[in-house]
Amino acid sequence: MANNNEFLEFNNAMKLYELDIFTLGKMADEIRQKKFGKKVFFNSNRHINPTNECADICKFCGFSAHRKNKNPYTLSQEEIFKEAQKAIEIGALELHIVGAHNPKLDLKWYLELFSNLKAKFPQIHLKALTAAEVNYISKLANKSYQEVLELMAESGVDSMPGGGAEIFDEKIRDYICKGKVDSKTWLDIHGYWHTLGKKSNATMLFGHVESREHRIDHLLRLQKQQEKSGGFNAFIPLVYQKENNFLKVEKFPSGQEILKTLAISRIILENIPHIKAYWATLGMNLAIVAQEFGADDIDGTIQKEAIQSASGSKSANGILKEEIISQIKDAGFIPVERDSLYNEIQTY
């Protein structure tokens, strides 16, 4: 802790976990209702994961090709264009492109991919590259991350996803994903992206070896970054998926602990507009319940997903838009289809 105020802030935030789930839910719901009433946002998107061949070995990862997942792949640009074409034909408005740290895919490859995608499909929103990937690709190209971010923007990337944040605490980070972008650089990359007038999201991977203290520390660091650069659209607390990885986790969080964490995120991150209950890691049922605990978004149709599903999530084939709409309505909320920047497209 840097000073007395930060110490007080941290302790007060920690006390939120001592409240019962209904009190916390009510506090979070008041903020949510003030911002968005009974709206629940979703979008029509498509995840494309160009490669799972990775130079890093994060202990929690079931996606990258390793001895528990012997299925290395790297898509060609032609294959990606075909996937994008199909996705757009069935209604995707956003391509969400994230993958592994593959030394064969350099900066030039990515910039070509983005500008070709934009040339072929000018209407699509390109959400691409986590801050961890930006950091990796910058080092590979021997360029600063600032230069890489500027080139990404010039090549048509519209916004950045929030992955790679994991847990900011340096000791936990070192244990679960040593070698990956450090916490300060993750925040600086998003900060610089925001100075280019662009938006991004932020995540936190929880429910593994971290403690409540580490989660609060993570949320407070994000709150401060948002005060400085202001470009985070949504915060996405990702629940750890337990299959096919090397992290030895003995105790998994209960539904109550997950909902408390979502509610606390809403309370601490009042300066980030949206809290997303990402159905791919929560399951659709809990993602809908989370709307009573501060969340206002469940992500989207996804169509195809390789990262969370590699570790046990039931998200490999996405979900139909009609199913999302019916689940949201059934829970007494108003389904609102949005674009990637939260402009409202249609209310159902």
Binding-site positions: 54, 58, 60-61, 166
Main-chain dihedrals φ then ψ at residue 145, nearest 5 degrees:
-65, -30
Q: Which residues pair with 274 in a beta bridge?
A: 234
Q: Is 172 within 8 Å of 210 (Cβ atoms)?
A: yes
Cβ closest to ligand SF4, residue 177 vs residue 280? 177
Closest CA to 132 of 63, 41, 207, 70: 63
Interface with ligand SF4 by CB under 6 A: which residues? 54, 56-58, 61, 63-64, 100-101, 132, 177, 180
Cβ closest to ligand SF4, residue 115 vs residue 185? 185
Cβ closest to ligand SF4, residue 223 vs residue 309? 309
Cβ closest to ligand SF4, residue 210 vs residue 257? 210
Element (H, E) at 212: helix 212-229
Instruction: Please enumerate, by residue number, every residue annotated as part of a binding site for [4Fe-4S] cluster.
Output: 54, 58, 61
Cβ closest to ligand SF4, residue 113 vs residue 131? 131
Cα–Cα distance measured from residue 287 to residue 153, given in angstroms and rounded to the nearest whole number? 32
Cβ of residue 64: shortest distance to ligand SF4, in angstroms? 4
Main-chain dihedrals φ then ψ at residue 41, nearest 5 degrees:
-90, 145
Main-chain dihedrals φ then ψ at residue 226, nearest 5 degrees:
-65, -35
Cβ of residue 173: shortest distance to ligand SF4, in angstroms? 12
Cβ of residue 316: shortest distance to ligand SF4, in angstroms? 17
Contacts of 57 (CB under 8 A, 6+ apart): 64, 66, 179, 246
Query: What's the chain's Rg over C-alpha atoms?
Result: 19
Q: Is 53 within 8 Å of 104 (Cβ atoms)?
A: yes
